[in-house]
Amino acid sequence: MKVVIIGGVAGGATAAARLRRLDEKMQIIILERSGFISYANCGLPYYIGGAIQEKRALTLQTPQSFWKRFRIEARVHNEAVAIDPVQKIVRVSRLDDGTEYEESYDKLILSPGARAIRLPVPGAEDERIMTLRTVEDTFRIRDYLESYPVQRAVVIGGGFIGLEAAENLMERGVATTLIQLDDQVLPPLDYDMACQLHAYLRGKGLDLRLKTAVSGFRPEGDSLAVLAGGEEAVRADLVLMAVGVTPDTALAASAGLALNPRGAIIVNDRMETSQQDIYAVGDAVEIRNFVTGAPALIPLAGPANKQGRIAADQICGRTSVYRGAQGSSVIKVFEMTAAATGLNEKAAQAAGIAYDRVVTYSASHATYYPGATDMTIKTLYEPESGRILGAQIVGFDGVDKRIDVMAAAIRAGMTAQDLEELDLAYAPPYSSAKDPVNMAGFVIGNVRSGLVRQYHWQEVADLQRDGSVTLLDVRTPGEYANGHIAGAVNIPLDELRERLGELDRGKPVYVNCFSGLRSYIACRILTQDGFDCRNLSGGYRFYAYVAQDQEFDPTPTHPCGIKI
């Protein structure tokens, strides 16, 4: 059997290696239009910043090593330009000399990936405006930085590539502006979770401009003027456009493969396309969202690798299927980490799924052991069953560990009660006896059982205008003096029992503290004394980042408000 694979990065290279492990006699050919195969897209920004020094570190395999190890022929600078599904022939262009040839196949795997979007605005063709998608892009950007006196850069787009590029440009000492069309960076996060990231990035020196549209570029001397938002133009020596990607499926369309309205290749759970003996994997395919069951585009390396493996299994007669992805992701931005898995609020609302959420605040490990850092966890769950639908975490140490536990919980269909019961490893340098994941389960359990009712930051503005409620802050007087919700009265938790007479029993009491822990205890006191009480989810610290655009405080803090 002869298998031709178009595209030799994540999905294509994985499929090729899997095919060889399953069939030693099969002829396998990879056609890759770039000069590299099996490279790490996710590592490209770190070569620009210098965290990765060696060019060869970006490529996991070369055509020579692939042949030596697997006897797979990987042809770089060979672009597939047409497919004849009836004759089972691929027409290929040798990019080095422009000649063409035909390659037959028995089975074909498409792994064309996605291409970077360029804004269709005046001046966008300037050579100082670059995208970052391939190894060649990375080398071009780093060479430019090392050849010209780049002092100012503009990054357009606040997704993974945009944030990582901005970080790495700043690590090189380049003053950087990041322009984002939406009101937040990092779309997998909800707006409220992204606000902590906004404050942190501004604190690191990034000129972050949200809700700003780029309308064009104009040369000004040796630099570019970036026209954005009707404001004064932003000057830049280099512009990196990172506004997203779109499935690279022109070849698939010309071959008659079925595409969805967004141009992605439609496949079944065996990665088979609408044309017999043609499979497709990776960023160019429409898959199923594991949580909602709806069609989705999830251009991430993990799903691409799994899909490549499944396509190879199918070709070799093995029964494996792809059950969908939940979009698990993580990003490092300077010292901070942000991660997400499953549904956020936007996705749950779009899918029409009933949900509720809790925002918890935990230390990365036991606070009495040195080095503990803050961690904010937002967990979405199904109110009736308690099934976990999604999680988002922003913090420092230990974020990746907890998001992976949440991802596994979602995959296994676990509920909040299951989170409570998870037996997770504990030692003071690594966690607490009640791990942050356990704590999320405990809080959801309290809400679902009616032990406590909660309110969210979005409701505060209406409550401030409603004289029929009492806003109660149970932090210390010093904490209260440093910032509080307007209109809130201050009765410290440890004095609350003795001062209940100061509260109007005829009014519902909306309580807050720093993190939600002390206010939960206050709600238990109040509820058992006949008050109608609600607890602010995420506490004052979360509210302040979202509603008051508070500056980021890097000092680790105990949930009770004590600086560590």
Catalytic residues: 42
Cβ 393 vs Cβ 425: under 8 Å: no
Cα–Cα distance measured from residue 213 to residue 266, given in angstroms and rounded to the nearest whole number: 32
DSSP codes, 260-326: -TTSPEE--TT-B-SSTTEEE-GGGEEEEBTTT--EE----HHHHHHHHHHHHHHHTT-------B-
CA 350 to chain centre: 18
DSSP 183: S
- What is the rounded distance in angstroms from the CA atom of residue 329 to the CA atom of residue 339? 6
Structure token pair of residue 236: 């830049």
What are 100's two structure tokens? Answer: 């063409």
Instruction: Single out the residue of 240, 64, 237, 55 nearest to residue 136, CA to CA.
Output: 55
Could you list the beta-strand ranges (E) of 56-206.
73-76, 78-84, 89-94, 100-104, 107-110, 114-116, 129-130, 152-156, 175-179
First to last CA, the chain: 64
Gap between the Cα atoms of 446 and 524, Å rounded = 11
Question: How far from the centroid of its chain's Cα atoms is residue 529's Cα?
Answer: 44
Tokens 């020196």 -> residue:
205
- Using CA atoms, how far residue 208 sits from 84, 177, 180, 182, in Å, is 48, 6, 8, 12
Pairing of strands 265-266, 223-228: unpaired
Note whether 83 and 109 are within 8 A (CB). no
DSSP state of 418: H
Rg, the chain, Cα only = 27
CA atoms within 13 A on the CB side of 276: 4
Q: How many CB atoms lie within 10 A of CB 504?
A: 11
102 exposure class (CB count in 10 Å sphere: 0-12, 13-18, 19+): exposed
- Give strand pairing partners of 489: 472
Cα–Cα distance list, 375 to 97, 344, 448 (Å):
55, 18, 23
Six token digits for residue 229? 């938002």
- Reported in sequence order, the residue ranges of 78-206 that DSSP labels E, i.e. its strands, are 78-84, 89-94, 100-104, 107-110, 114-116, 129-130, 152-156, 175-179
Nearest one of 288, 289, 298, 284 to 255, comparing CA atoms: 284
